[in-house]
Amino acid sequence: MYISTRGNSSERTGKEAIALGMVPNGGLFVPRIIPKINWQELKELNYSGLARKIIKLYLPELSDRTLDQAVGVYRPDLFDSENPAPLVQVGNLGILELWHGPTSAFKDMALQVLPHLLKESIQSIEEAEKVLILVATSGDTGKAALEGFRDVPGIEIAVFYPENGVSAVQERQMTTTEGKNTFVIAVKGNFDECQSKVKEIFGSKAMIDEFKKGKYVFSSANSINWGRLLPQIVYYFWAYAQAAACGKIQAGELINIVVPTGNFGNILAAYYAKEMGLPIKELICASNQNNVLSEFFQTGIYNRLRPFYLTTSPSMDILISSNFERFLYHMSDCNSEKVNLWFKELQSEGKFEVDSQTLAKAREYVKAGWANEDEVQATIHKTYDECGYVLDPHTAVAVKVCQEYFDTSGDSTYTIIASTASPFKFAGTVLRSIAPQQGTENEWESLERLSSLTGWAIPSGLQGLDQKTVNKTETTVPSEIPNLLTKLFL
């Protein structure tokens, strides 16, 4: 069963939690009990089998048919090969490549599955005839969600992205999506403004009632939705199994995991994996210049009142990190009163400070660091020079933070980096880092040059993007989002 981080909801089934996306009057759904599993039981399974086992633990009420369809997505025509998440050895690090799905970012690992979970889940919310998925994206969730939900009967999807806050490839991927049920909207504002507005709509009784008249219920494909986090737990077990299979670790040995972090979803999935019994020593949270999280782990203060930077890792340009609420719920020993207070303060004052016990526990579970723009470029350059491996800027943030962690801690535990995007999604930045003299402002030319320079193939979903027809898209300001939705859907 699932409960609210803010203690403001009755217990819900997993299906209800997924259908609702978030707690209707604020708060996020968390599992009341985190199931334990012996990872030894899992090591003979293929990826789909592993996913099936883990998803079933959290959603026992799901039908076998839905489960089969959900885990059936991890097949070669969608994820490149039999192994949807290969662990590649680069120097002393294991790089877990999570970007072999249709949109070349790790979001596919969950967003290909979510529509299947949601289809059955919606039936548990009786009043719903149609579902309107609202998505705020810092770049990658948008396209992955559009692909996942494209032409799914009974579902429509509207994606909001910051007009100048995503890469050229990310924007073109979204605006060229086919499908009659997809809507893409550019917002004059940053990701936090998009996300806050969308969350506000989920919590607005007036909007919910108005859309109910049109037979719509809202849901979310952002990682505030439990259905997004759940499939992400799987690949940490998968990474461990691969490291053990190739002899990098002995069975039962501890590993570290480093995650380039924005909304704290991906690293939270690793936290759940650890709580379920996966032998993890350190979880390391890596931020870019928008380092609100690493500052929190240093000071215990979460302060979003700070400059917002547009960086070369745009999918991490986030100051209000949604899933941090779930993490703090667990770190405060499930104290929903405290969580309620902190997040009310965040809304009214722009910051909050946790008590020393919560901070101590948070620090015990997660180490944190950040990398600036020069360090990201230098890390991409050095990794290519020394290992011939091409990092995307988000993964480079994690590699840099990892190296710093090694240097300061002296820890030599085998460490896995969650690699979240194909370098071709950010080809301009990557090319300029590896071979500055070849840099070009033309993003499409960058893709070609990066490919010929490195010998790496351009992922099929990114080929010919510049030739595709761009759909008509709406542009709006954050405050007009509710009106635009009414105009588009009612």
**Tokens coding 405:** 């962690």
Closer to ligand PLP by Cβ: residue 107 or 116:
107
What is the DSSP track for 260-287?
Answer: E-SSSHHHHHHHHHHHHT--EEEEEEEE
In the bound state with ligand PLP, the residue whose beta carbon lies nearer, of 211 and 260, is 260
Question: Does 223 contact ligand PLP by CB under 6 A?
Answer: yes
Binding mask 107-146 for ligand PLP (x = CB under 6 A): x--------------------------------x------
Q: Rule CB under 6 A: is residue 220 a binding residue for ligand PLP?
A: no
The binder of ligand PLP chosen from 26, 265, 428, 459 (CB under 6 A): 265
Sole window of 64-72, 122-130, 262-270, 379-387 interacting with ligand PLP (rule: CB under 6 A): 262-270
Q: By rule CB under 6 A, what count of residues binds ligand PLP? A: 16
* CB neighbourhood size of 284 (10 A): 26
Interacting stretch for ligand PLP, rule CB under 6 A, among 35-43, 159-167, 256-264, 401-409? 256-264
Binding range to ligand PLP, per CB under 6 A, among 159-167, 172-180, 257-265, 431-439? 257-265
Rounded to an integer, what distance in angstroms lies between the CA atom of residue 351 and that of residue 300?
A: 11
478 binds ligand PLP (CB under 6 A): no
CA 312 and chain centroid, separation = 17
Joined together, the tokens standing for residue 186 give: 């550019």
Q: Pick from 266, 290, 340, 429: which binds ligand PLP (CB under 6 A)?
A: 266
In the block, residue with structure tokens 């990474």? 239
By DSSP bridging, strand 2-4 and strand 29-31 are antiparallel
Quick one: which of 66, 263, 288, 403 contacts ligand PLP (CB under 6 A)? 263
Supply the minimum distance, in Å, between the C-beta of residue 251 and ligand PLP: 29
Question: Binding string to ligand PLP for residues 390 to 419, with x set by CB under 6 A, is what?
Answer: ----x-------------------------
Distance of alpha carbon 173 from alpha carbon 289, whole angstroms: 25
Q: Active-site residues: which are they?
A: 107
Tokens of 339: 């969580």
> Residue 96: in which H helix or E strand, if any?
strand 93-97
> What backbone torsions phi and psi does residue 54 show, to the nearest 5 degrees?
-70, -40
Quick one: which of 167, 261, 340, 433 contacts ligand PLP (CB under 6 A)?
A: 261
Token pair of 451, please?
A: 């490919």
Closest C-alpha among 408, 392, 397, 407 to residue 375: 397
| Closer CB to ligand PLP, 66 or 165, in the complex | 165
Q: Residues 162, 165, 231, 260: which binds ligand PLP (CB under 6 A)?
A: 260
Instruction: Count CA atoms closer than 13 A to 68's CA, side-chain side.
Output: 3
| Contact call for residue 105 and ligand PLP (CB under 6 A) | yes
**Which of 240, 264, 329, 342 is the binder for ligand PLP (CB under 6 A)?**
264
Least spacing, CB of residue 263 vs ligand PLP, in Å: 3
Beta bridge partners of 476: 187
> Which residues fall within 8 angstroms of residue 413, CB to CB, at 6 or more apart?
254, 255, 256, 281, 282
Q: Which of helix, strand or coil describes residue 353?
A: strand
CB nearer to ligand PLP: give 271 or 343: 271
> Residue 421, interface with ligand PLP (CB under 6 A)?
yes
Please tell me what DSSP assigns to residue 335: -
CB of 368 to ligand PLP, least distance (A): 12
Q: Distances in Å between the alpha carbon of 242 and those of 21, 249, 406?
A: 32, 9, 22
Specify the residue, 384 or 424, whose C-beta has the smaller distance to ligand PLP.
Answer: 424
Residue position matching structure tokens 């962690």? 405
**Contact positions toward ligand PLP, by CB under 6 A?**
105, 107, 140, 223, 260-266, 315-316, 394, 420-421
